Structure 1
Amino acid sequence: MSAARGRAGNWRGLLLAGAVWLGASAAWGQDVVTVTGDRRGEARDAAIIPAAVIDAAAIQSVGAQHVSELLNRTAGVNINRGNGAEHLTAIRSPVLTGGAGAGSFLYLEDGVPLRAAGFANVNGLFEALTGVAGGIEVVRGPGSALHGSNALHGLINILTPDPAITPSHAELELGSFGRARASGVLARPGDGVSALLAVETQHEDGWREDAGLDRVGVLARADGTAGDVRWQWSASIITLNQETAGYVTGASAYEDRSLSRANANPEAFRDAVAMRMALRMDGEWGSGWSWSLTPYARGNEMDLLMHFLPSQALEESGHTSVGLLVSAARDFAGGRITFGSDFEQTSGFLRETQARPTIFSFVQGDHYDFDVDARVFALYAQTRWQVSESLALQVGLRAEQTRFAYDNHLAADTVGRFLRLGDRDDRYDTLTPHAGVIWRLDADHSLFGRIARGARAPQTTELYRLQAGQEIDAIEPETLDSIEAGYRLSLGDDGRLELTAFSMAKHHVFFRDADGFNVTDGRTRHHGVEAEFDYPLTQAWRIHLAGTWARHTYDFDRPVGTASEVIRKGADIDTAPRWLWDARLVWRPHAAWSGELAWSHTGAYFTDAANAHRYDGHDLLALRLRYAPSERVEFFTAVRNLLNEPYAERADFAFGNERYFPGEPRAITIGIRVAG
């Protein structure tokens, strides 16, 4: 990463893949296999741990300009789009920021975390190659015993494309605001080794001033066998260079298009690079035993101008890791038992420097300069037992230890508002059990339920990037206890209905209040209902609905100096809409034509902790059409925000002002896809 420019040069395995896409009608009605629940694959309707599935055809048909376009089509998920590739995530949660936003969701690629547990990035999905992915799986609520720290509110697993079944192709799309998106896949299936090379690139000038984006990702994958051992090797690199636009302020400022296009922070940027490599090996031995071994390595760096603070400081951060995932499973009469161990060693760094003169308590010069060595070791066991033909149980337990060794390169004292600790070691232990059941009433009806605990170790920035008056010793791992129950109904060959109700309690919630002090003993509650409905109206028309009603509340009191941020037990957490809806009417009159009219609804939500200010929500329409004159060529177009609705991607009240990330006006793209 070069610093010459002042910068460096993120339920339903159960959620129907067929309902999310707009492409080959042959996929409708096929059974879907998920891998997130047990890393080996299981039919979605037999899964006790529900996982949403978005398949490769859906990814192709959506042609997402931002990952939120894909993930927000599933119930319980609300990705707030920021500038360029930036985003904030909500999965059965409010939209979370800071360390909570970074550490409450686990982002994976083929089951391997994109980042180390204590070094998460709130924009972590920009490091995923979603445009050429072979699929995406989403678990809402805590992960299983196989998933470690950060799988608190949920997890997202990006699946790389299988070279044996992925066709070669090239795709080009152009559109409003200087957009250009290109991707290509070169696949070579083989009897011994199958290989694939995929590239995705994205450029946009940005609809706001000085808010351009350039992003490039390259993925290589090869699969094969060596004797009785099956292996899968993959490597990828992603680079991001973007100019960043901040909030616009003032009551309903997002409705003013000229104000929304303006950028008060033209100097802001975020530049990053991420690399990773993994080798998975699978085999069998003995009577009914199978094993899996996955060594991996990763590295990333990022430079960020902190335009959202008076300091305008430059943050430089990164980490490198090596790790090993090991598991062994044995099938027995009526079930399977899995044992495993995860190990990871990480070296990370963070530097923060203010070049501009001292302003308030933001002093010129070095704020922080430290390294952190981290080690994570986990043991787990999970078993599934088929009690009878209609009843199955699953139980799992994970024990995980996280150690941090912090090395401060500056004087251990307080400078302005910045507290720099002396060198120290910290250790966090978590124990996360879960148990679930599925009861098939008959061929078309089933009930399922699960209780689980999720946990996350503190992020290194929460521990060692402190401000004056803050303390570290009271910080504990966050835990979330969850209970859920649901009903699945098969409607003919390929129609489905699924309802899920959940209730969750979160403890040791860590955040900084409006007075700038650490809150280490916060508590929140989360409960709601999620619905998925997918049904073929006729051979040419299909409807899909995904809806969520949820309430996320504080479970403690916290008086602070700023009236708008006083926390009261029972009050709604800010940026937590109670209603989220996504509906799609899919049209496919014959093989050459397909189309989709999509409606998304974000309900009203409070923008401050005291529930004194609110955003009224919004409704958006999008239209997509595809025409394939031959088997090799396909033309496509999309109109986003069809009615040109003024809206806010994110609304907030802070520092005495209403402020917004304004949503993009109507945008049109056209493209072509050519099969190899």
Structure 2
Amino acid sequence: MSTIKRMAIAVFTILISYTSFTQNVYKGKIIDAVTREAIAGASVNYSNSKTGCSTNQSGAFSFTSPENKPEVQVSFIGYETQNVQLSAHEQVISLVPSQSLMQEVVVSANRESMQRSQAPIAIASINAKTLQDAKAISFDQVLNKVSGVYMVNLGNEQHQMSIRQPMTTKSLFLYLEDGIPVRTTGLFNHNALLEMNMANVKNIEVIKGPSSSLYGSEAIGGVVNFITLAPTATPVAKLSLQGNNFGYKRLDGQASFTSGKWGFVLSGYTAKKQNSFIEFSDFNKSTVSAKIDYHFTDRTTLSNSLTWMDYYSDMSGSIDSTMFANHSFKSQQTFTYRKVAALRYRSTLTHQWNNNSKTSASLIYRDNTIGQNPAYSIKDDYRKTSTGFTGKKDLAHGEINNSSFNSYALIAQHRQNLAWKNAVLIGGLSADLSPSTYLAEYIRIKKDTISRKYTGYEQKDSTLTDYKTNINNYAGFVNFEFSPVQKLRVVASVRYDLFQFHFDNHLKPSSFSGSPDTVNNFSAFSPKVGFTYNLSERSGFYANYSQGFVPPQVTEMYKGVKVPNLNPSTFYNYEIGGWMEVIKNKLSADFSAYLLNGTNEIISVRLDDGSTENRNTGKTSHKGIELGMNATPIKNVSIRFSGAYSEHRFTEFIEKGNNYNGNEMNGAPRWMHNAEVWYKPAFVKGLRMGIEWQKIGNYFMDPLNTTKYEGYDVFHVRAGYQFKGVEVWVNMMNATDRYYAYNASRSTTSYSYTPAEPRHFNVGVSYDFGKLFY
């Protein structure tokens, strides 16, 4: 070999060696552009190449390249892909959540993160951006954006719910916080969402239809899962102040940061309302949540969270037909109230064994007390009988009651990815031990015969109800999914629940005080099977069959009952649905159709001696179609439509001597929809303007189908502006000043209306001090 060739080879070898040893290292962190939380598992690669790296649990990455300021592609499922030029200094890259339905990620469908397009259920997600834009002061202002959902505003964060069911206070809905029930089974409270810390919610997922196969009882009409804030990758320190012209004032605070292996979140708010449009409707609420995460390693994390809440509200009650017709907002009440104290603690240890295996275990503690002087328990002494009227006109009867419980619970689950057919197996066990007490004492009430107001009361030494119940719930569940062929995903799950109710009556058993001491056991298997089929990358459909169950509530089982003899109610659901992206990044839609049959439902039956008792003799039928559409016809304009047409009927229902067979259920509008348009002009960065239209169709006010309420149309207008750390907003609610009722009902003797708020303006301002740090 010639000397020149040897020299050339040597030079080439030196250059190669030099290049291989002069790699540049670029470091950074990838976060969510809206929540500023770290994104773990995001990819940082050369375009059209798998060469690169992924982010760790803290969202950090280290990218090695021989190039100077290389351009890379940053991507993660559920976010818009970005091309970024890396720089020498450590940089923070913000990914924007994707608006594409096909890219949406949900966690409630199988208790783990998965693509929406692989979930054979009707599930909707209210993302962080929607929550931030809406500036809601109660959850109904955002939940009602979901097709087929109507959360009835009863004032001061109190509510009823309607998801594939009529507006009801029954235990047909399950409310979760990070996948864990807010309250224990058997002690359902239709006002449970007032116990939530709205300032601590990052996004909300709504499953429509039974989900007992994963989450247990009460998950019949739907499941609402509130996903809470996680520690942010960059510091956040935010304060906001808002109020309206109906006496509502609220102060919110949020602080979050990550330091090394530690992550911290502190959030809460205090709200107060005085001298509102309706008499005797003041309230105040304070709540705070704290979360501390510790990453032992990139694979092992311990998360501890605590929420405390203190609530008090006047209980003004509804108004009658005369008052509603006269636009009178006077209240008969002067002393009734509801007060709630709630504490929830959760500690979750999660370990990622490898890329295919993960285990988590959660310890939960709840401490909850509800004290009431309830307006709905007040009964006039003067009443009509078959022979005329009897009783005193200035006398009424009521009660003061207190319901409390503690919970000690354990939930453990494991996820295993399998090599066969892209299969995933998720299984878990849970135990919930919840001792509870209930005490009700009689009060004698004075009524003014002229103003019709209940002016005061005296508490007699008379105990109406006094008992203790130990509620134990043991459960196991398994979820299996696989893809037998390309594009097809099959999902099956089943759960077994065992309930033990230990009832201890502290009074002599009677038809009022309750049953004798007893122990009742219930058990149920809840299966679910379904599949999804993706016709293309932009369209697909699904079908499923599921069962759900509801055990008797403690009050149904034992209060005012001589002999407890009830079984769980069972619901059978058949459902199909689908989704499509008609025009990429411009127009998408999803739909679902369902048939839900309820059996063994608990109703009150009138006996021959005139008394009543609860029995499992009711059947109902629920069917409907739900549709959602999202469009971006032109840049900076977005349109959303959510609608549902449904029919709810009594199939076999004879209650207290009244035959409702074949009738439509009361409080069940056939048609309801919510539509919204947002405009965010490019020429004024940070400005947003939106208008929302909520429609509730007419519905029967009584189960005998004698009277209908016309329903309503209401419009809300919102505007906001954000500049760096400062944000201001104005929401004009009920913009046309429509006079209507949130809900209306009729009994055999009277009408009842919950009047909606007239037009009002909610004004707010916030400042994020965390902007000063980056």
TM-superposition CA deviations, 1:521-569 (whole Å, max 9, x none): 10000000000000002112111000000000001142645xxxx3332
Please state if 1:288 is matched with 2:356.
yes
TM-superposition CA deviations, 1:98-129 (whole Å, max 9, x none): xxx2x211111111111110112111111111
Question: Aligned runs of 1:631-646 on 2, under 5 Å?
Answer: 631-646=724-739
CA RMSD of aligned residues (A): 2.2
1:553 partner letter: R
Question: Could you say if the C-alpha distance between residues 140 and 614 of structure 1 is closer, same or farther in structure 2, counting changes exceeding 3 Å?
Answer: same
Shift of 1:196: 0.7
Select 1:109's aligned residue among 171, 177, 198.
177
Give the 3-state SS of the residue equivalent to 1:122 in structure 2.
coil
- What TM-score comes out, normalization by structure 1 length? 0.90
Question: Aligned runs of 1:481-630 on 2, under 5 Å?
Answer: 481-490=572-581, 491-493=583-585, 495-512=587-604, 516-558=612-654, 560=656, 566-590=658-682, 591-628=685-722, 630=723
1:331 partner letter: N
Contact 2:175 2:224 in 1 (8 A): yes
Aligned partner of 1:326 in structure 2 is 412
Please state if 1:343 is matched with 2:431.
yes
Aligned partner of 2:280 in structure 1 is 210
Shift of 1:51: 2.1
1:294 partner letter: S
Q: Distance in 2 between matches of 1:304 and 1:511?
A: 25
Question: Could you say if the C-alpha distance between residues 364 and 80 of structure 1 is closer, same or farther in structure 2, counting changes exceeding 3 Å?
Answer: farther
Select 2:315's aligned residue among 213, 220, 244.
244
Select 1:384's aligned residue among 481, 490, 497.
481
1:320 partner letter: N
Please state if 1:462 is matched with 2:551.
no
Contact 2:370 2:404 in 1 (8 A): yes
Give the 3-state SS of the residue equivalent to 2:141 in structure 1.
helix
Contact 1:567 1:609 in 2 (8 A): no
Contact 1:132 1:183 in 2 (8 A): no
Q: Distance in 1 between matches of 2:344 and 2:303?
A: 14
Aligned partner of 1:12 in structure 2 is none
Shift of 1:165: 4.7
Question: Aligned runs of 1:296-307 on 2, under 5 Å?
Answer: 296-307=364-375
Q: Distance in 2 between matches of 1:357 and 1:242?
A: 20
Shift of 1:495: 3.2
Please state if 1:658 is matched with 2:746.
no
Question: Could you say if the C-alpha distance between residues 560 and 287 of structure 1 is closer, same or farther in structure 2, counting changes exceeding 3 Å?
Answer: closer
Give the 3-state SS of the residue equivalent to 2:117 in structure 1.
helix
1:348 partner letter: S
Aligned partner of 1:181 in structure 2 is 250
Give the 3-state SS of the residue equivalent to 1:146 in structure 2.
helix
Please say which structure displays the higher CA radius of gyration: 2
Please state if 1:435 is matched with 2:549.
no
1:337 partner letter: L
Shift of 1:32: 2.8
Percent of counterpart pairs with the same letter? Answer: 22
1:174 partner letter: G
Shift of 1:350: 0.4
Select 1:81's aligned residue among 153, 157, 162.
153
Shift of 1:306: 2.0
Question: Could you say if the C-alpha distance between residues 189 and 25 of structure 1 is closer, same or farther in structure 2, counting changes exceeding 3 Å?
Answer: closer
Aligned partner of 2:15 in structure 1 is none
Give the number of equivalent residue pairs: 636
Q: Which moved more, 1:224-233 or 1:617-626?
A: 224-233
Q: Distance in 1 between matches of 2:372 and 2:434?
A: 21
Structure 1 unaligned segments of length 5 or more: list them: 1-15, 19-23
Please state if 1:393 is matched with 2:490.
yes
Q: Distance in 1 between matches of 2:529 and 2:433?
A: 30
Aligned partner of 1:356 in structure 2 is 444
Aligned partner of 1:231 in structure 2 is 302
Give the 3-state SS of the residue equivalent to 2:763 in structure 1.
strand
Select 2:122's aligned residue among 36, 50, 53.
50
Question: Could you say if the C-alpha distance between residues 165 and 150 of structure 1 is closer, same or farther in structure 2, counting changes exceeding 3 Å?
Answer: farther
TM-superposition CA deviations, 1:242-290 (whole Å, max 9, x none): 1111111126x43433x1x211112110001100110111113379332
Question: Could you say if the C-alpha distance between residues 454 and 358 of structure 1 is closer, same or farther in structure 2, counting changes exceeding 3 Å?
Answer: farther
Please state if 1:72 is matched with 2:163.
no
Please state if 1:139 is matched with 2:207.
yes
1:121 partner letter: N
Shift of 1:239: 1.0
Contact 1:641 1:666 in 2 (8 A): yes
Question: Could you say if the C-alpha distance between residues 17 and 578 of structure 1 is closer, same or farther in structure 2, counting changes exceeding 3 Å?
Answer: farther
Contact 1:554 1:567 in 2 (8 A): no
Contact 1:196 1:220 in 2 (8 A): yes
Q: Which moved more, 1:208-217 or 1:489-498?
A: 489-498
Q: Distance in 2 between matches of 1:42 and 1:187?
A: 26
Contact 2:121 2:208 in 1 (8 A): no
TM-superposition CA deviations, 1:563-584 (whole Å, max 9, x none): xxx3332210000001111000
Aligned partner of 1:222 in structure 2 is 292
Question: Could you say if the C-alpha distance between residues 511 and 86 of structure 1 is closer, same or farther in structure 2, counting changes exceeding 3 Å?
Answer: farther
Select 1:60's aligned residue among 94, 117, 132.
132
TM-superposition CA deviations, 1:173-207 (whole Å, max 9, x none): 11111111221111012231110100112111232
Aligned partner of 1:480 in structure 2 is 571
Give the 3-state SS of the residue equivalent to 2:361 in structure 1.
strand
Q: Distance in 1 between matches of 2:612 and 2:104?
A: 48
Shift of 1:345: 0.5
Select 2:762's aligned residue among 663, 669, 675.
669
Q: Distance in 1 between matches of 2:741 and 2:411?
A: 41
State the structure with bigger RCO (CA 8 A, min sep 6), 1 or 2.
1
Contact 1:132 1:200 in 2 (8 A): no
Q: Which moved more, 1:143-152 or 1:421-430?
A: 143-152
Contact 1:405 1:426 in 2 (8 A): yes
TM-superposition CA deviations, 1:585-631 (whole Å, max 9, x none): 11111222101100000000001111001101000000000012x21
Q: Distance in 2 between matches of 1:295 and 1:82?
A: 33
Q: Distance in 2 between matches of 1:114 and 1:218?
A: 15
Q: Distance in 2 between matches of 1:169 and 1:37?
A: 32
Q: Distance in 2 between matches of 1:196 and 1:560?
A: 52
1:300 partner letter: N
Structure 2 unaligned segments of length 5 or more: list them: 1-77, 81-93, 380-396, 448-458, 770-774
1:420 partner letter: G
Select 2:188's aligned residue among 120, 125, 130.
120
